[in-house]
């Protein structure tokens, strides 16, 4: 290998190293964002499963709901 080839190889290695140093923070950020997105998606799926389980029970309206419905119907009749 001649001196010129050695210098060229060294210059290419330096350029490649600088490229890696410039791109590495972006790659780390992308990986971090994807991990957070995956965690959010998993949490939403867990919440969806929990709400499906809790909504499978029959619910009875509260007294306040019956009272409000009765008052609404009286207003419509009186008008």
Question: Which residues of the chain, if any, have pLDDT below 70?
Answer: 54-79
Query: Could you give the number of structural domains in the chain?
Result: 1
Whole-number pLDDT of residue 59? 62
61: in domain: no
5: in domain: no
Residue 29 structural domain: 23-54
Whole-number pLDDT of residue 71? 60
pTM for this one? Answer: 0.52
Supply the DSSP symbol for 57.
S
Length, in residues, of the chain: 79
15: in domain: no
35: in domain: yes
41: in domain: yes
Cα–Cα distance, 68 to 79 (Å, whole number)? 17
């Amino acid at each position: 290998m001649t001196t010129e080839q050695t210098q060229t190889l060294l210059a290419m290695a330096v350029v490649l190293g600088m490229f890696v140093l410039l791109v590495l923070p972006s790659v780390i950020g992308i990986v971090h964002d994807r991990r957070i997105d995956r965690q959010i998606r998993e949490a939403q799926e867990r919440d969806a499963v929990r709400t499906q389980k809790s909504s499978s029970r029959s619910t009875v309206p509260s007294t306040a709901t019956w009272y409000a419905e009765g008052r609404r119907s009286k207003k419509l009749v009186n008008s």
